[in-house]
Structure 1
Amino acid sequence: MSSSPLNIGIVGAGIGGLATAIALARAGAKVTVLESAAELGEIGAGIQMTPNVSVLLQRWGVDKEIGENLVRFEELNMRRKDGTRVGHTKIATLENTLNRPWWVVHRAHLHEGLVKVAERLGVTLLVNAAVTGLEYSKTQAVTLATRTRGSFVFDFVVGADGINSITRKTLFPDVAPEPPTTNCAYRALVPYDQIRKDPVAREIIEKKTMEVWMSDNAYIITYPICAGTQFNLVLSHHRPEKLRATQHDVPIHELHNEYKDFDPRIKRIVDMIDSTSRWPLMVTGPLESWSSPRKNVVLTGDAAHSMVNHMAQGAATAMEDGAFLGRCIAQVVQGKLRLDEAVTIYEKERMPKAFAKQQVSFLNGAIWHLPEGPAQRARDAVMAPELQGQYYVKSSNLYGDPKTVLDVYGYDAEKHAETVLAAHFNGGREPVDAAGIAKSLEDEYMGWFQAEKAKL
């Protein structure tokens, strides 16, 4: 093993790039992040840290940095656009089963927490360092040229530079993200204090809840952020044409008119929004590869697999990529794997996971956008047992559907990596104990309730 640490460059200091930086620094690599913006920060509003990534925030100590700005909510209510409740998930039941919280948070607070942990781990964060070119084919080393900071040479480069990724454009110039439909989203914040003054709207905020109002051409999802002081709204809608770029300063009457027939309680809150932007829902891939021929450059997050937002898994999937890659690179740092082997394992395991997320995200949007008719009535009927707290095996409410909860929210990227690596070092088959049981299956069938029993 080399006496010098593996020198890794990450293009992009967004949520996915910082999560990757943390995971790689924890793996023992020397990590430098190149960010094009003049200062670190995140724009936008709320984001869900679903249990599949809240476990990473806890494991990495990011949750301690964010503190009370990581908000937990009590329940999810699925509604028709007139406010009729048709589905329900008690979040404590889900959290207790998975032994992880479901947080909602402002993107800026999440980003700030990731920055603090990355810096504490020794990650170098360079702003005003827009990458303009990559040279990765002449030698095993990778050279990154930047607009204002000169050139950098790394042993390995991770392109975490989002939907407009220069890394992806260099590796795969013929690939371009596309909107699969005319679906777009508004995002907005309204202060809770303002809502409390409205005698109709304030009923919605009596408890900390996540609410979804479903309609054929639009939906609204809401939840509290910023220590419960801000009411976050994501407002899905369709346009006459496909949109490929964010539109700022949208005429506010367009937003107000889009939801004029919704439940008066949420309509009153929508009318409090005084400015917004319209965001396109873009999908990248699936790609045939995420890496360069030498495996010295690799993509993560939206650069590789941007997806629609209906399952709140875009940033989460990027964080999973980083966490999984970190465990693979740890084996390179320790001299147990070659870099190309680590990247091959990462691609083989994470590419189908990301593709599955893209599909389930699109399908959840289709479920929420069903027009009035037989399919919509069937959707609501199979959610109905949730309203009485009855046992059910499957639900069209994917935020509470047992299979989706286990597959998506119960996933642990680092444990997945450990299982795959153990199999790799054992000739392709996961090791078993004296009783012939593999650890991953023991964890799946017994570990979840033993963890709960340990609290008793």
Structure 2
Amino acid sequence: MMRWKDGQILVECPLKVPAENDYMSPYWHVHRADLHRGLLEAATNLGCKIRLNSRVVNIDPSLPELSTQDGKIYSADLIVASDGLHSMAREVILGRAGAPIPTGQMAYRVVLPAKKLEGIPELEEIISVPRNNHWLGPNATILSYLLEGKEEKLLNLVFTCDANMPDGTNQRIQSSAELRDRFKDWDTRIGMILDHVDTALEWRLYTHEGLDNWVHKSGKLCLIGDAAHAMTPYLAQGAAMGIEDAAILGALLEKFPTKDSLPEELSMNCNLRQKRTAKVAKASIDSRYFTQMPDGDLQKLRDEYLLTHPGIWQGHMNIRSRQEFLDELFGYDAYKALDHISAVL
């Protein structure tokens, strides 16, 4: 974590060794396209059929069945909807419209080949050391990390700041001129990087009101992922929570593979997942305000604390350095969460 103005390191939160030693898993940065590819291969190897260009236009949760824009109808014992922030299935369960709630912030995303920045001494560490670089600034943060692209190493940057997109616009690709202007007073290395960027993807950040129940009263339609619990990006846990959801629900369906037990399984799934996802969602929002403090006395106190409390500690003010939170977040085992569940419903 670094100071926004000059890149001074405030605190380091080493996770590589704890991940391997304490949580028995490597700490990786994975490009979403690679994650999609891995999930696709795993699903098709298990016999799943993938239907592309099949937008769902209607769901009847009582049967259950759904219809797509090409007029096809699909029937099943259970519909599991992971249709994201703008979920249709969520509105079916709510019984009313449930539009996402703007957070007041937006993000710019830039991905560029690391080789574009080779030969610039000030950027050598950023393009060669595999770690998160996190600049903390007034009402904004920048995160950079390296990714292994299909053919070359990539540098990924996400700039999170107050939204200034036109009303009605949720996502667009724009010239990087605005981005350069908004962050022109930050660490000079940011400007050096942006000198090599032509365009940036912009998107508005939303959340959702909490849902008491992720299951339709029919017991034949349920939500997982952002459709159930939209995550703000300040802890980068949205995809992770969705994967945990899938692991728990999949394990329950495997353990109790009968249609008659579906309502109990779905209720159990909610009981196992809702408290955790709500806690992570709140922690993400809290992280926003900790990392985006305006210039002033509170920001100075935070920075002084971080400088004098390096590493990972119990009770650390910084959630990314707080041992008990990291243990809870990364030490979670979805399958062990089912250990106490009876073999018979």
Identity %: 29
Q: Shift in Å at residue 386 of structure 1?
A: 4.9
- Contact 1:385 1:392 (8 Å CA) reproduced: no
Q: For 1:176 and 1:115, locate their aligned partners in 2 and report how far apart those are by CA, in whole Å.
A: 29
1:295 alignment partner AA: G
Q: For 2:5 and 2:329, locate their aligned partners in 1 and report how far apart those are by CA, in whole Å.
A: 27
- Contact 2:147 2:154 (8 Å CA) reproduced: yes
1:342 alignment partner AA: E
Aligned residue number for residue 330 of structure 2: 409
Q: Shift in Å at residue 243 of structure 1?
A: 6.2
- 1:177-205 deviations in whole A, cap 9, x for unaligned? 1113x211011112110111323322423
2:279 alignment partner AA: A
- Alpha carbons of 1:323 and 1:245: their partners in 2 closer, same or farther (altered >3 Å)? farther
Q: State yes or no: 1:399 paired with 2:337.
A: no
Aligned residue number for residue 176 of structure 1: 99
Matches within 5 A, 1:23-62: none
Aligned residue number for residue 139 of structure 2: 217
Q: Shift in Å at residue 347 of structure 1?
A: 1.1
- Contact 2:22 2:331 (8 Å CA) reproduced: no
Give the number of equivalent residue pairs: 341
Q: Shift in Å at residue 377 of structure 1?
A: 2.5
1:135 alignment partner AA: D
Aligned residue number for residue 15 of structure 2: 91
Aligned residue number for residue 226 of structure 1: 148
Q: Shift in Å at residue 245 of structure 1?
A: 4.1
Q: State yes or no: 1:128 paired with 2:53.
A: yes
Q: Shift in Å at residue 79 of structure 1?
A: 3.6
Aligned residue number for residue 148 of structure 1: 70
Matches within 5 A, 1:286-301: 286-301=210-225
- Contact 1:367 1:396 (8 Å CA) reproduced: no
SS of the equivalent of 1:413 reads: coil
- Alpha carbons of 1:81 and 1:314: their partners in 2 closer, same or farther (altered >3 Å)? farther
- 1:279-335 deviations in whole A, cap 9, x for unaligned? 1111122012111102110011111111210000111111111111111112221x5
- Alpha carbons of 1:300 and 1:245: their partners in 2 closer, same or farther (altered >3 Å)? farther
Q: For 1:385 and 1:338, locate their aligned partners in 2 and report how far apart those are by CA, in whole Å.
A: 54
- Contact 1:143 1:151 (8 Å CA) reproduced: yes
Q: For 1:97 and 1:378, locate their aligned partners in 2 and report how far apart those are by CA, in whole Å.
A: 31
- Contact 2:3 2:9 (8 Å CA) reproduced: yes
TM-score by length of 1: 0.70
- Alpha carbons of 1:243 and 1:322: their partners in 2 closer, same or farther (altered >3 Å)? farther
Q: State yes or no: 1:349 paired with 2:272.
A: yes
Q: 1:258 aligns with which of 174, 182, 201?
A: 182
- Contact 1:383 1:395 (8 Å CA) reproduced: no
1:225 alignment partner AA: L
Instruction: For structure 2, list consecutive stretches of 5 or more residues without a partner in the other structure.
Output: none
SS of the equivalent of 2:37 reads: helix
Aligned residue number for residue 443 of structure 1: none
Q: For 2:118 and 2:124, locate their aligned partners in 1 and report how far apart those are by CA, in whole Å.
A: 5
- Contact 2:3 2:137 (8 Å CA) reproduced: no
2:313 alignment partner AA: Y
Q: State yes or no: 1:324 paired with 2:245.
A: no
- Contact 1:82 1:261 (8 Å CA) reproduced: no
Q: For 2:9 and 2:240, locate their aligned partners in 1 and report how far apart those are by CA, in whole Å.
A: 28
Q: Shift in Å at residue 113 of structure 1?
A: 1.0
1:257 alignment partner AA: D
1:290 alignment partner AA: W
- Contact 1:324 1:414 (8 Å CA) reproduced: yes
Q: State yes or no: 1:109 paired with 2:34.
A: yes
SS of the equivalent of 1:98 reads: coil
SS of the equivalent of 2:232 reads: coil
Instruction: For structure 1, list consecutive stretches of 5 or more residues without a partner in the other structure.
Output: 1-76, 427-456
Q: For 1:337 and 1:329, locate their aligned partners in 2 and report how far apart those are by CA, in whole Å.
A: 11
Q: Shift in Å at residue 425 of structure 1?
A: 5.7
Q: For 1:212 and 1:251, locate their aligned partners in 2 and report how far apart those are by CA, in whole Å.
A: 23
Q: 1:204 aligns with which of 115, 122, 126?
A: 126
Q: 1:358 aligns with which of 258, 281, 289?
A: 281
TM-score by length of 2: 0.92
- Contact 2:141 2:160 (8 Å CA) reproduced: yes
Q: Shift in Å at residue 252 of structure 1?
A: 2.0
